[in-house]
Structures are given as structure tokens and as C-alpha cells.
Structure 1
């Protein structure tokens, strides 16, 4: 099993490159046993508070092995409104509940949840279940590791 301990901007030319598909929740974990798309067993051991984004790289201490982070498709709800105001109001209500949310000009995406689906449908929004990559907003403050 390989242990990945650090972010890196670009892999070394000689590095072995793997691909690591993680759900939105898994990309927020600093400790995680997982498996690369190539079948390699991996252990993420990152600084607390690290939030990985698709397209980033994590590496072993010596940089000889890197894994590119991918957004793993997962159960989601795609929310569309009749107009921009209804979509903004939905984002407001979901934000009040601290729901991780992916925001687009034409729709919202959130993790599948039947209670939230009912709430949104009762507000007149169109909610569609999809298996899709989910990349919620990271929040108001830049992510950084806490010591």
C-alpha cells in the first residue's frame, strides 16, 4: 500500500502517475484508505482540513508516485427553476441548512436526499436524480490545513 502525504502542483517527469476517483465527501477527508483506478491500494494521510479538488495531484513523500484526483460519479439531484429568482431562493434555503451545493447559472446540484428533494419540489422546482460528478462550492474562505 502506498501512502500519499502531500499535494503537488505537477508530477515529476519520472513519477508513476495514478488516477484516484473520490466522491465529494471523500475529497474532504484527510485520512482515507482507497484504491486507484489502476487497482493500487492507497492511503491518504494529508494535513487536517485539506479539501481536494478534481485535477489536483497528491504524492508520496519522495514524489515518485502521484495520483491525479478525479470526481467520482455519485447519486445527485439536479435542480432547475422556472427563473433565476426561484433558483436563488433554493440556493438560499439549502445554504441555511449547510447543504454542500454545486452552483451553475442554469441549475444547482446537491447530494441525493429525499427530504431535500421533497422540499425543493414543494417550492415548484424541477428535481432530477442523476449519477454525476459532484463538486460543491468550497465555501467563503480559502481551504488551508490547520496545524
Structure 2
């Protein structure tokens, strides 16, 4: 078994000797046994937390490099007018503590989209906010968290200085006991 132990960040396809295609639900795990796209047995032994991104390289103890690919999987893409409608849609969906991918359509510069795993509650919410839904198969590679940077808790491009003592207080106040939420869908956290 090839033991993958080091995250390399984004790499070019020609830098890797093999690829590993995984759905999002497996790219959030730090420990995993898998089979590469060429049929080799792999073991992931990585730090917990950061999601494996499409195009990210992993180095094995032997020095070999494997490139991660986001699998094609069922998704819902909510298309809406760019600007405030897109911001409102992203805000309300993100407030449900789900992973979201964001993008724009080059063919329609007045449109943007938010992509998420199928969920009837989120789909209803998106439609109420004026989005047109597309249920299809595509890679799901959601936005990394605002403070995520390859194994670091905070990005060093944060607007506040790390040389001063400080603590973070989150301005949102709500119960994190997910059994008490009025909506009935699962939660995926990549903290």
C-alpha cells in the first residue's frame, strides 16, 4: 500500500505518477483506504480538517506524488442573477451550515451560481430566493473556509495582525445543537 502523508497544494497533472478520484464526502477525511485510478492500493494518513481539493497533490512516504480529482456526483446548481440576488442566495444557503461551490457562467455574465449536494430543504429555499435549479452530475469542489489555508487555522492574508494578542468572537448567536434545528437535513462540517 502506498502511504500518502503530505499535502502539496495544487499541482500540475504532469507532476503526479497517479490520480485518485473521490467524491466530496471522502475528500473531507484525513484517514482513508482507497484505490487509485490506475488500481493501486492507497492509504491516506493526513492531518484532519482541510478538504482535499481538486488538483491537489499528495506525497507518499516513498516520494511518489498522487493528484486528487473531484468525482462526478449528483449536485444541484442554483442559477440566479449576479450581484445582490447571488449574494443573498449564497448568504441564506451558507447560513444553513452546508458546503457550497460558487461560480459564474462565462456565456451569461449577468448570472452566477451556487452548487450544493441534493437537499429538498435547500432546493426549496433557493427557489424561493429566485434561483432556477439544475439537478445534474458534476464535480463538487466547495469553497474553502475563510480561515482555511492548507493545514493552517488562519490565512496569513487575514486583515488583522497576528503579532497582536487577540481572540475571535463570532457575532452569530445560535444553538449548535443540530437536533434542535427546524430543518431536517444532514450537516457537513469541515472545521
Q: Specify the TM-score bucket, using the shorter chain as the normaliser.
A: 0.7 to 0.9
Please tell me whether Structure 1 or Structure 2 has the larger radius of gyration of its CA atoms.
Answer: 2
Aligned to 2:60: 60
1:143 CA drift (Å): 2.9
2:127 to 92, 113, 121: 121
User: Conserved in 2, the CA contact under 8 Å of 1:49 and 1:143?
Assistant: no
Following superposition of structure 1 onto structure 2, how do residues 1-147 of structure 1 map, counting pairs within 5 Å?
Answer: 1-8=1-8, 17-63=17-63, 65-105=64-104, 106-145=112-151
Q: Kindly tell me: are residues 101 and 43 of structure 1, through their superposed partners in 2, closer, same or farther at Cα, counting changes over 3 Å?
A: same
TM-score in terms of structure 2 length: 0.67
User: Conserved in 1, the CA contact under 8 Å of 2:5 and 2:46?
Assistant: yes
Give the distance between the partners of 1:50 and 1:107, measured in 2 at CA.
23
Q: Kindly tell me: are residues 3 and 113 of structure 1, through their superposed partners in 2, closer, same or farther at Cα, counting changes over 3 Å?
A: same
Give the distance between the partners of 1:25 and 1:71, measured in 2 at CA.
10
1:82 CA drift (Å): 4.2
Give the distance between the partners of 2:151 and 2:31, measured in 1 at CA.
13
Give the distance between the partners of 2:23 and 2:149, measured in 1 at CA.
18
User: Conserved in 1, the CA contact under 8 Å of 2:58 and 2:67?
Assistant: yes
Aligned length: 143
Give the distance between the partners of 1:69 and 1:49, measured in 2 at CA.
16
TM-score in terms of structure 1 length: 0.85
Structure number with greater CO (CA < 8 Å, separation at least 6) is 1
